[in-house]
Structure 1
Amino acid sequence: MDTARGAVALDNLAPIALLLTQWRHSAEVHADPALLALITREPDGDLGPAAMPEAAE
């Protein structure tokens, strides 16, 4: 609802279209057991070192 209200307030419905597209893709992933298993599995091996976050000023 926040996205819809903000989009209407700005007279720009593109954020709503993006949100609906993202919901559709999420539903597609959850509807396909093989795809869901592929994207929710643990990664193989070590992903390497993480970058040090920058200090807030």
Structure 2
Amino acid sequence: EAISFLPPMQARRVHARYMLGMKVKDIAAMEGITPSQAGKSIHAALRRLRRYFARQKWTVNL
């Protein structure tokens, strides 16, 4: 699974956002960080996933 290639913190946040449907502000509150920090972390994780899929020759629109 592609998410396993993310650092644990980013994987947890992506899982919460996209698999559990949590809002960024709720993820931030759960983790004790600002919503801006949570959003940036999730955005960075999505960039990593795009690179992972590109290396696998998959096309993904996230």
- In terms of Rg, which structure is larger? 1
TM-score normalized with structure 1 length: 0.38
Structure number with greater CO (CA < 8 Å, separation at least 6) is 2
